[in-house]
Amino acid sequence: PRRLGILAAMHDELAGLLADMGPDVVVQRVGLRDYHVGELYGHPCVLVLARIGKVAAAATTVTLIREFKVDAIVFTGLAGGIGQGVRVGDVVVGTSLVQHDMDARPIFPRHEIPLLDRAYFDTDASLNALLRQSAAAYVAEQLATDIDAATRADFGIDVPAVHEGLIASGDTFVHAAGMATSLVEALPDVLCVEMEGAAVAQICHEYEMPCAVLRTISDRADSTASVDFRAFLQRVASVYAVGIVRRFLMG
């Protein structure tokens, strides 16, 4: 893409990328958000902190498209692992996104977005392929250099897997095994849960904008999720984002 919009929900998910932007960054403030317009690893980009949740992500996505004229959008951040074999430290590329808290029954089927006639929003296949390759190369070649053995042991990160598939989004931090079980019952194929991706994917569908959602697993969406999430956010979230997005943009 000619100009890429990159968003994240929290500061620590974006900080490393912001620090790596070239010197000629112009910051424009719209609707409480700072849009950083410039170059990242030699590529024209707009970086912005979307803030947390579907509304925040949707509003920011519209602004990236309408005000900043981006040609494609990538969301990067953390997620809670739900699917079997989706472990802390793994990477998930979302090929399809669903809003697990959308429920307009009995007027519309569960999860369906009223009037759009669909519950699932697909992301862009070529962006996904490139992200998957970038993530696989990063975890195989560089991760163990960037994150020391003691830190990896703390998080139980061995050789991270890169998954591709369904991501569920909702305005809830999933922090109990029972919540995660209900999610799997409602959506058996879900790999991980977060709070923004499906909102970005819906807006991008409405504007015919190619998009992708890249997530690193910080927790298992269970009773230790909040502690695990905060530690992961502080210590390694930015490392993953920089490592993968850098390879993605440098091709």
For ligand ADE, the binding residues (CB under 6 A) are 78-80, 173-175, 193-195, 218-219, 221, 225, 229
Instruction: Confirm whether 219 is a catalytic residue.
Output: yes
Beta strand 4-8 with 72-81 is: parallel
From the CB of 219, what's the least distance to ligand ADE, in Å?
5
Q: Closer to ligand ADE at the Cβ: 140 or 177? A: 177
Catalytic residue among 13, 90, 124, 228: 13
Cβ 4 vs Cβ 65: under 8 Å: no
Nearer CB in complex with ligand ADE: 79/191: 79
Instruction: Measure the CA–CA gap between 219 and 228, rounded to whole angstroms.
Output: 5
User: Is 206 tagged catalytic?
Assistant: no
* Ranges of H-type helices in 49-166: 54-66, 125-141, 143-146, 149-155
Minimum CB distance to ligand ADE, residue 141 (Å)? 25
Q: Name the residue nearer to ligand ADE (CB basis): 15 or 21.
A: 15
**Shortest distance in whole angstroms from residue 157 CB to ligand ADE:** 16
In whole angstroms, give the CA distance from residue 152 to residue 147: 6
CB 205 within 8 A of CB 117: no
CB of 10 to ligand ADE, least distance (A): 9
Selecting among 112, 196, 219, 228, the annotated active-site residue is 219
Residue 84, helix vs strand vs coil:
coil
Q: Which is nearer to ligand ADE, 123 or 218 (CB)?
A: 218
Structural contact between residues 109 and 102, judged by C-beta atoms closer than 8 angstroms = no
Task: Give the catalytic positions in this structure.
Answer: 13, 219
